[in-house]
Amino acid sequence: MSTLSETSRTESALSTLRRGVRLSPEFRVGLAGTLGLALAATVGRVVVPVAVQQTIDHGLHAHAGPDVAFIRTAVLICAVVVAFTALCAYTMNVRLYRTSESGLAALRVKAFRHVHDLSMLTQSGERRGALVSRVTGDVDQISQFMQWGGLMFLISAGQLVVASVLMLIYSWPLALLVWVSFLPLAFALRRFQRLVSAAYITVRERVGQLLSAVSESVVGASVIRAYAAEDRTARRVDESVEHFRAAQTRAQALVALTFPSSELVAALATGGVVVAGTLLGIGGHLTAGELVAFLFLVTLFVGPMQVATEVLNDAQNAIAGWRRVLGVLDTEPDVADPGPGGVELPRGPIEVRFEDVGFAYPGGPQVLKDVTVDIAPQTRVAVVGETGSGKTTFAKLLTRLMDPSSGRVLVDGVPLDAVRFSSLRERIVMVPQDGYLFDATLADNVRYGRPAATDEELLLALTELGLGEWLDGLPRGLATPVGQRGESLSAGERQLVALARAYLADPDLLVLDEATSAVDPATEVRIQRALDGVTRGRTAIAIAHRLSTAEAADEVIVFDGGRVVQRGPHSTLVAEPGVYADLYASWAAQREA
Amino acid sequence: MPQRVEPRILRAGLGVLWVAVKAEPRIFGLSVAASGLYAVTTVGSAWVLGDVTQQVVLPAFRTGHATAGALTAGALAIIAVAFFKALGVAGRRFYAGLMQYRLQATYRRAVTRQYLRLPLAWHHQHPTGQLLSNANADVEAVWAPIAPLPMAVGVVFMLVIAAVSMLATDVWIAAVGFLIFPAVALLNVVYQRRLSPLAARAQQLRAEVSEVAHESFEGGLVVKTLGREDLETARFAERANELRDANVAVGRVRGLFDPMLEALPNLGVLAVLLIGSIRLEHGAITSGDLVHVAYLFTLLAWPIRALGWVLAEVPRSVVGWERVRGVLDATGSLPFGQASLEGPAAAALEVRDVRFGYGEGDVLHDVSFTVQPGRTTAVVGPTGSGKSTLTALLVRLVDPAAGLVLLDGVDARDVRRGGLAETAALVPQETYLFDDTVRGNVTLGAELTDEEVWEALRAAQADGFVAALPSGLDTELGERGTTLSGGQRQRLALARALVRQPRLLVLDDATSSVDPQVEARILKGLRESTASVVVVAYRRATITLADEVVYVQHGRVLDRGTHEELLDRSGGYRDLVTAYEVDSLTRGVSRTVSLNGAGNATSQRKEGAR
């Protein structure tokens, strides 16, 4: 399910281009100068045909016999022109690279930031790889086009125009002949390009399947061994390798067939020029030098035709990539920072109020209904309920990862959506169940909560949480590398790090969403106790399925079917018949069985 | 400064190319033959054009009339040569691609075969990303020079013919060619040599930009909840700007050399015109010869660069080859024995003095315990005490550094290939689902009936939600089963184990995300099965189902016995297992106390921390 903006996917290539350039004004810097240089550079390409023509007509076949002095002068002038146009080409290239790469780097960063600004729901609606592509592969495609395809297009177009103009000056009927020869090819190439492009789309799809099959043999290594599924995996890998090879070969065959077609057409044109040109020459309409120059000019048509399919492919990919990037930028963050006009909350104990809050996921049923709750400052609240009762949704609304569909959430009397993100994220921090860790050391990960923290402060935080002994047990202590996604640590240990990270951030309201679910009971209780001590003076809300947390809380809020059905201290709730008493009975049975 | 190609790299590169030629001699031969045709026809087309100019065009211009026959013959000769040239080009490109892709496929298969063959310990030593790029990007890099290779071979041939053709025309004009063509070739070699490290750096930075984006988006929730968007954007911008600078550096080199490579042959043609006209004046050559050589220069300017293309790919190819060989030559293996583990009854398990470590220090020390057939043993211990490692040893994902794991009295290392998987099944703590259907994930390719699959799903309490999926057993689960909840994924993994009717079942906290009531039903079912069970658990309900408990801490077995016995005599075990109860009881007290002041809560905390 993709929730990214769709509007830009149907717009024309030209308007994509226009919008793209508007979003990255860097592209326009010195554009006129660059184009001028490009035109000057292409003039260099017709120097040789002109020199050949001049040499033959005025040097060799001059009335007074070969005139070497004239040829020497002509060659010298031409050499100077060649050198000058090469210089123009160099300057143009460097300018083009510099402006396009600056524009693209800015676009990349802009899109990256925008992805983070999108709401959690929008983010999770996309495959992670797809979002990564928006700031990598898609931008690279534009970059590749700018550096090769776009440049080729510019040069080829210039080359065709300059060659045609020169041909028209020499002889318009012959120019027409060359054009008529190449015109059908130009149309055919458009068709070829569609075929080739479709073939390469298949290649790209197959490479995706190949990567996914190969990654199973690596990421699933232990399951494959535990279940002796080697043969099955090998079969799947073989299949995808073979599919990929077949697609590559097919695409290559198409290119191999279409690529030399321009050679054939060029030969037809050359043959035609020889015949028609000679006849024209006999009639006195053309000199020998002009005819030979034509033969050279025809070769200038071959290059652009040969690269045309590739340039068109490149252009198509670049436009599609650009559209996808713009699609991200077009997506309004539905949970947005109010910006500079927003409220900055002063630090201090936090008070929370839910007023008639309802919530439904887009296109889904109502998961929260009429929730009205007050949480006094400095209280410790446990939120309990069965799987799917709405307790995690409650936490997400409280931390403004999502906005309610109806009603409102207030902190210290201010509607949550009026509070600046910088202030909100500093004061309210949530620890999710799956504590994601970055591929760095343990210290780096904890320090993510407060980048300025010293090693001593990290140690103090871990000790305060009762994790000193665990840390001492790690051979490299704070310098322990946690591996990709923290996978060098056990699931429980990852949760400990995530908790320490949030704790170090020192928020006024700490929200724990089953943050210690994979930790052993003794450690969990120890952390619980530690938090009790250190969270005195702040507000703490814990979503829990282990009811030890509820027993320890000042107040328990019980969710059932998206509603708050009970609330009060554990001791009161457990004594009255209801959802909580049932939950507690089943928990106690588990615990004491 | 252009990097000097080390002779070692060049030799190694030639070695790699030789491997390719030996692997696909027929296709290589065809591609070189096509390229030869291309070479001959390229030089031939210039010769034909010069000849037509001299024999047909110029006489016609001089005399004022031409025969239709001569004109047609000239035009046909031009077209015929071009036809064969096109054939050569098509053949060269097609067979070069065919060869490249076949080699890629062969080596991708070989590399993944190694991944499947090598022991898990080897996998532990190599990061996932590296292995994925060995099979993909590195294999691609190894065979990248194959694409331009036939053309380069053809170009060498072409240069020889062109040299002969020019020498036959005139020594002085040939001298221009002998200056210009080596200069173009050399310039291109210098070009590619300078470009190649810059391009490699840009490629490397593209990978790094992608890594940062991937990690940052994957940890998006953490970034959001801590409000670290600015920090992340700065981290990304740093890499993106480095990539920008690297791309501009590539552009500078390209921008410099491309125009030079284009200008050089043009200057060559101008030199030919100058020297040619002098020679013409002396009557040493004809106008046709002049056109022929000038045209040849125009035609050769482009193909001659192919030599540089091959050389440019060589360093990358050699590095890729070393990496791929690193995988193919990896010797670590998990040797299997001949012994079979037969019998329908539950397996007996004995772990004897087992020691194990991942590198830095041991994770397990002198671990010993036994599981009698049909009995259930719980492994209990604090977070990070080595329990998951122990489960990996039981099903022989890794071998102990010392000590033995015995099944039915047979050393696990003596069991034949596949024998252990038929006997023992491990359900790991973190579920791995394949990008396949529900059925595929449960059977993993084994021949099993739908009834058997449903039976296992029922035992794992997964039949309900699977039946509700759009296509039931045939529902595609997608990328790592992201469409399912944690508890559902765990139940599928359990069904995967149960469908094999293992004689030893090893559960590593395998029901942690399952609701307690559902878990109770699963455990009840397991108790009725005939398998021996080893279960890693925290929940007391699970532990009390076990006949025996093994209590581990810091990788050592501290005590063994029934739950009651351990409660009685092991303080650490008691603290761990009764933590919630004790907490609950002391809360009752501390609640009243803490009403008197926060100071007491602090002392409570310190007590808890001990």
Residue B241's Cβ-side half-sphere holds a number of Cα atoms within 13 Å equal to 6
Q: What is the interface pTM, i.e. ipTM, of the complex?
A: 0.85
Distance between CA atoms of residues B445 and B418, nearest Å: 14
Count of residues making up chain A: 593
For position B597, what pLDDT does the model report?
A: 37
Q: How far is B7 from chain A (nearest CA, A)?
A: 32
pLDDT at B599 > cutoff 50: no
Torsional class of B6: left (φ above 0), alpha (ψ -120 to 50), beta (otherwise): beta
E strand or H helix at B426 = strand B424-427
Which residues of chain B lie closer than 8 angstroms to A436, CB-CB?
Answer: 218-219, 221-222
Closest CA to B100 of B153, B141, B154: B141
Interface test with B, best of A244, A262, A295 (most B CBs within 10 A): A295
Residue contact B89–A237, C-beta within 8 A: no
Q: Which residue of A has its CA nearest to B538?
A: A520
Residue contact B479–A278, C-beta within 8 A: no
For position A10, what pLDDT does the model report?
A: 61
Tell me if A201 sits within 8 A of A318, measured CB to CB. no
Interface test with B, best of A109, A328, A517, A535 (most B CBs within 10 A): A109
The pair of three-digit structure tokens given for residue A554, joined into one six-digit string? 């000042």
Q: Which residue of A has its CA nearest to B512?
A: A518
Model confidence pLDDT, tens digit, residues B108-146: 999 999 999 898 888 878 877 788 888 888 898 899 889
Interface test with B, best of A275, A467, A524 (most B CBs within 10 A): A275
Helix residue ranges per DSSP H, A220-229: 221-226
Strand partners, B369: B351
Interface test with A, best of B187, B275, B277 (most A CBs within 10 A): B277
Residue contact A282–B66, C-beta within 8 A: yes
Q: Which amino acid is at A201?
A: I
Interface of A with B in 199-258 (CB under 8 A): 210-212, 214-235, 237-238, 241-242, 244-245, 248-249, 252-253, 255-257
Residue contact B583–A528, C-beta within 8 A: yes
pLDDT at B586 > cutoff 80: no
Strand partners, B314: none
Strand partners, B404: B352
The pair of three-digit structure tokens given for residue B588, joined into one six-digit string? 């009752």
Angle between the N-to-C axes of helices B287-300 and B149-169, in degrees from 0 to 180, rounded to the nearest 10:
160
Output DSSP code: residue A126.
S
For position A63, what pLDDT does the model report?
A: 67
Closest CA to B500 of B458, B538, B444, B462: B444
Residue contact A475–B360, C-beta within 8 A: yes
pLDDT at B496 > cutoff 90: yes
Q: Measured over all CA atoms, what is the biggest interatomic distance in chain B, rounded to whole angstroms?
A: 125
Residue contact B582–A525, C-beta within 8 A: yes
Angle between the N-to-C axes of helices B287-300 and B229-281, in degrees from 0 to 180, rounded to the nearest 10:
170
Residue contact B604–A533, C-beta within 8 A: yes
Q: Which residues lie closer than 8 Å to A11 by C-beta, 6 or more apart? A: A19, A323
Which residues of chain A lie closer than 8 angstroms to B302, CB-CB?
Answer: 303
Interface of A with B in 21-80 (CB under 8 A): 41, 44-45, 47-48, 51-52, 55-56, 59-60, 65-66, 68, 71-72, 75, 78-79
Residue contact B251–A97, C-beta within 8 A: yes
The pair of three-digit structure tokens given for residue B32, joined into one six-digit string? 């070189």
Q: Which residue of B has its CA nearest to A466?
A: B609
Domain layout of chain A by residue ranges: 9-171, 172-285, 352-592
Q: Which residue of B has its CA nearest to A427?
A: B226
Distance between CA atoms of residues B44 and A298, nearest Å: 17
Q: Which of A147, A238, A249 faces B98 most closely, judged by CB atoms?
A: A249
Model confidence pLDDT, tens digit, residues B201-238: 888 888 888 888 888 888 888 888 888 889 999 999 99
Residue with tokens 């049975």: A589
Output DSSP code: residue B126.
S
Q: What are the structural domains, with CATH classification, of chain B?
A: 14-328 (1.20.1560.10), 349-577 (3.40.50.300), 580-610 (no CATH)
Distance between CA atoms of residues A332 and A336, nearest Å: 8
Helix residue ranges per DSSP H, B282-372: 287-300, 306-328
Q: How far is A303 from chain B (nearest CA, A)?
A: 10
Interface test with B, best of A108, A506, A513 (most B CBs within 10 A): A108
Return the CATH number of A9-171, one of 1.20.1560.10, 3.40.50.170, 3.10.129.10, 3.40.50.150.
1.20.1560.10
State residue A259 phi and psi, 5-degree precision: -55, -50
For residue B337, the Cα-to-chain-centroid distance in whole angstroms is 31
Tell me if B421 sits within 8 A of A227, measured CB to CB. yes
pLDDT at B186 > cutoff 90: no
**DSSP conformation letters of B203-214:** HHHHHHHHHHHH
Q: How far is A528 from chain B (nearest CA, A)?
A: 9
N-to-C CA span, chain B? 64
Model confidence pLDDT, tens digit, residues B143-158: 988 988 999 899 888 8
Residue contact B252–A436, C-beta within 8 A: no
Question: Distances in Å between the alpha carbon of A516 and those of A102, A439, A527, A546?
Answer: 45, 21, 9, 9
Residue contact A264–B82, C-beta within 8 A: yes
Distance between CA atoms of residues A553 and B203, nearest Å: 54
Q: Which of A570-574, B69-73, B340-344, B393-397 has the lowest mean pLDDT?
A: B340-344
Residue contact A522–B575, C-beta within 8 A: yes
Strand partners, A410: A353, A415
Interface of A with B in 462-521 (CB under 8 A): 466, 468, 470, 473, 475-476, 484-485, 489-493, 496, 498, 501-502, 505, 517-521
Which residues of chain A lie closer than 8 angstroms to B287, CB-CB?
Answer: 56, 60, 288
Question: Distances in Å between the alpha carbon of A125 and those of A119, A121, B218?
Answer: 10, 6, 13
Q: How far is A521 from chain B (nearest CA, A)?
A: 6
pLDDT 10s per residue in chain A (593 long)? 455 665 445 677 788 888 888 888 888 888 888 888 888 888 888 888 888 888 888 877 766 667 788 888 888 999 999 999 999 999 998 998 898 899 899 999 999 999 999 888 888 777 666 788 888 888 888 888 887 788 888 888 888 888 999 999 999 999 999 999 999 988 888 888 888 888 888 888 888 888 888 888 888 888 888 888 888 899 999 999 999 999 999 999 998 888 888 889 989 999 999 999 998 988 888 888 888 888 888 888 887 887 787 788 788 888 888 888 888 888 888 888 888 888 888 888 888 999 999 998 887 788 899 999 999 888 889 998 877 788 888 998 998 988 999 999 999 889 998 999 888 888 899 888 777 898 889 999 999 988 899 999 999 999 888 888 888 888 788 898 888 788 778 888 888 899 899 889 888 888 988 888 778 888 888 888 787 776 667 888 998 877 878 888 889 999 988 899 999 998 898 888 888 888 888 777 776 65
Tell me if B568 sits within 8 A of B384, measured CB to CB. no
E strand or H helix at A429 = strand A428-431
Residue contact B383–A227, C-beta within 8 A: no
Q: How far is B12 from chain A (nearest CA, A)?
A: 26
Q: Which residues lie closer than 8 Å to B19 by C-beta, 6 or more apart? A: none
Sheet containing strand A352-360, edge to edge, reads A366-375, A352-360, A406-411, A414-415
Which residues of chain B lie closer than 8 angstroms to A53, CB-CB?
Answer: none
User: Strands B402-407 and A428-431, how do they pair?
Assistant: unpaired
Q: Tell me which fold the domain A352-592 belongs to.
A: Rossmann fold (3.40.50)
Distance between CA atoms of residues B416 and B407, nearest Å: 13
Q: pLDDT band for B1, please (50, 70, 90 cuts).
A: very low
Q: Which residues lie closer than 8 Å to B180 by C-beta, 6 or more apart? A: B264, B265, B267, B268, B271, B297
N-to-C CA span, chain A? 44
- Name the CA radius of gyration of chain A, rounded: 35
For position B606, what pLDDT does the model report?
A: 34
Residue contact B270–A536, C-beta within 8 A: no
Helix residue ranges per DSSP H, B170-282: 171-218, 220-226, 229-281
Model confidence pLDDT, tens digit, residues B76-119: 999 999 999 999 999 999 999 999 999 999 999 999 999 998 98
Residue contact A587–B516, C-beta within 8 A: yes
In total, the C-beta contacts within 8 angstroms joining chain A to chain B are: 498
Q: Which residues lie closer than 8 Å to B127 by C-beta, 6 or more apart? A: A484
Tell me if B534 sits within 8 A of B542, measured CB to CB. no
Residue B114's Cβ-side half-sphere holds a number of Cα atoms within 13 Å equal to 20
Tell me if A513 sits within 8 A of A475, measured CB to CB. no
Strand partners, A371: A357
| 3-state secondary structure (DSSP) of residue B449 | coil
Q: Which of B218, B384, B579 faces A490 most closely, judged by CB atoms?
A: B384
Residue contact B584–A548, C-beta within 8 A: yes
Q: How far is A3 from chain B (nearest CA, A)?
A: 16
pLDDT at B260 > cutoff 50: yes
Tell me if A3 sits within 8 A of A327, measured CB to CB. no
